[in-house]
Amino acid sequence: MTTAAPQSSILARTAAQGATGAGEFGLPGPTPGEVTSPAFPGLGERAEAFVAWGSAAGSFAARASRSSGSPIALDLTDVGLTRDTLGPLLAGLLRGAGSPDLRAVIAISLPPELCGETFEGALSTERACWRARELAIGLTNARGGQLTPELFACRAREAASGAGLGIRVTEAGSLARAGFGGITAIGRGSAQPPVLVELWYAGPDGPGDAPPPNAVALAGKGVTFDSGGLSLKPPTAMYSMHTDCAGAAVVLAALTELRELGAEVPVYAALPLVENLPGPNAVRPGDVVTTRSGVGLEIVDTDFEGRVVLADAIAVLAEAAPRAIVSLATLTYQISVALGPEIAGLFARDAQLGERLERAADGAGEALWQMPWATRYAPQLRSSAPGAELRNHPLSDTGRAITAALFLGEFAPREIPFAHIDFAGPAVRSTPDGPAATGYGVRTLLELLLSWR
């Protein structure tokens, strides 16, 4: 499938001998006809490798196409592509090219069995994923003054109206009356009031007036700026904290493409949106607040705010009796210490749900590693403060990513499968120009929801 006559070629060849294969890919040099041949591992069947290679090739092709004025040929007839890896490769090419109009940049040649409807269907799907990822990146990269909780809620309304989603926005005064004590407590230090956004997808016939029953439920942390509150962060740690809303951004973005992609499963999401600032009304270390579920919660450290607002979000999702709850958050520094900057941690209380998420991440080409659901550490979360049952800090310097997940699990009833993804590492990458959102998680969520029957 070649759609234009190129001035230069990207030559591709691989032994396709699995993740450790010895294939090579030739990339064209800066002038037409000049080819360099850096060695690449054979891609095998790993979706993550196809996304990475596609991103590099797409970036190169975009630059070369701008120079030559015509699309660059990409010969993929003999690189071991399959139906399962075509999507991840196209995802990478779109990402690298930086545009959904892939044909303007690259003229692709494919094996005959992947041409026609197979290719067009995969490209349409990956364009939808690309749009969702770009939305998540834009929301996460917006600075604190550009995307307050109320402005985030406005963006959610706009997105919902064009995507066939139901939406309910609960603002500060109503939050307190409805018992959302966690969200209210964290947000009260800021002049920008907290907001809870609930979104739902009920299928192609429209959203209806209320969240659908038996949905897959998603909670996304939406701290639009995190100073740490009265437990103030140092300035160097605070600079990137406009990105602490990545969980909410990814969840919202994934939902916007469910109708386009024909998702069959109903979905219900809750996004607690707050600024965590040390204003005169800020919650104090040692204060006890009552969460939506009625649990008394001691705030030991105001910089452990994400789990507090997610507790209310998970509780309201649980009231709808969903088939499962998954939370996503840039929650702990310790998950990055454990897994580095490119791998997210998965904490699954339910083994089957954990397996679903692992398969989804593998198909999406996003690195996800299952961590232990170690209930032996749960006693660290018990509080002896008057009126409190739990505390938001384990009073231990180790195992904090685990205890954070265990804490969230306290607000999901035992009969509901629950899992948590802590993606503090891969959600944002460090660049010479500062933090940059990656959109990690969008493809995993879409893979999860599109495969759920």
pLDDT digits (tens, 9 = 90+) for 406-448: 999 999 999 999 999 999 999 999 999 999 999 999 999 999 9
Range of the domain at 17: 9-115
Q: Looking at the domain assignment, is residue 45 inside a domain?
A: yes
Same domain (yes/no): 110, 249: no
100 and 179 housed in the same domain: no
Q: Are 55 and 96 in contact (CB under 8 A)?
A: yes
Q: Which of 55, 80, 115 is the last residue of a domain?
A: 115
Number of H helices, E strands in the chain: 14, 19
Helix (H) or strand (E) holding 400: helix 400-409
What share of the chain in percent tops pLDDT 70?
90
Give the number of C-alpha atoms closer than 13 A to the C-alpha of residue 2, restricted to the C-beta side: 13
Does this model's pTM top 0.85? My answer is yes
In a domain? residue 177: yes
Q: Are residues 206 and 345 in the same domain?
A: yes
Residues 95 and 173 in one domain: no
pLDDT digits (tens, 9 = 90+) for 192-249: 999 999 999 999 888 989 999 999 999 999 999 999 999 999 999 999 999 999 999 9
User: Please, which pLDDT band fits residue 45 given cuts at 50, 70 and 90?
Assistant: low
Residue ranges of E strands in 191-336: 195-201, 216-220, 222-226, 267-276, 288-290, 296-298, 324-329
Question: Of 61, 86, 115, which residue constitutes the final position of a domain?
Answer: 115
Check residue 33 and give its pLDDT.
Answer: 41
Q: Is 129 a domain residue? A: no
Question: Which residue in 133, 259, 292, 307 is the catalytic one?
Answer: 307
User: Does residue 1 lie in a domain region?
Assistant: no
Q: Is position 128 within any domain?
A: no
Cα–Cα distance between 244 and 273 in angstroms, integer? Answer: 10
Q: Residues 13, 131, 168, 233: which is the catalytic one?
A: 233
Number of domain units in the chain = 2
Residue-averaged pLDDT of the chain: 90
- Give the DSSP letter of residue 366: -
Q: What does the pLDDT average to over 87-116?
A: 92
Higher pLDDT, residue 105 or 30: 105
* Same domain, residue pair 362 and 286: yes
Helix (H, G, I), strand (E, B) or coil at 72: strand
- Positive or negative, the CA dihedral 92, 95, 101, 102 is negative
Would residue 221 show up in a list of annotated catalytic residues for this protein? Answer: no
Instruction: Looking at the structure, tell me whether residues 328 and 385 fall in a common domain.
Output: yes
Specify the pLDDT at position 27.
Answer: 47
Half-sphere exposure in the Cβ direction for 87 (13 Å, CA): 21
The beta strands (E) that lie in 29-140 are given as 35-36, 72-75, 106-109
Collapsing DSSP to helix, strand or coil, 15 comes out as: coil
Annotation marks residue 307 as catalytic: yes
Q: Return the ∠ at Cα 221 (arms to 445 and 153), rounded to 5°.
A: 95
Is the C-alpha dihedral spanning 325, 297, 384, 277 positive or negative?
A: positive
229 and 106 both lie in a single domain: no
Q: Does residue 158 share a domain with residue 103?
A: no
pLDDT for 46 equals 80
Question: What CATH number did the domain enclosing 332 receive?
Answer: 3.40.630.10
Residue 44 has pLDDT above 70, yes or no: no
- Domain boundary (80, 115, 150) is at 115
* Residue 34: predicted pLDDT: 39
Residue 37 is predicted with a pLDDT of: 34
Same domain for 86 and 141, yes or no, is no
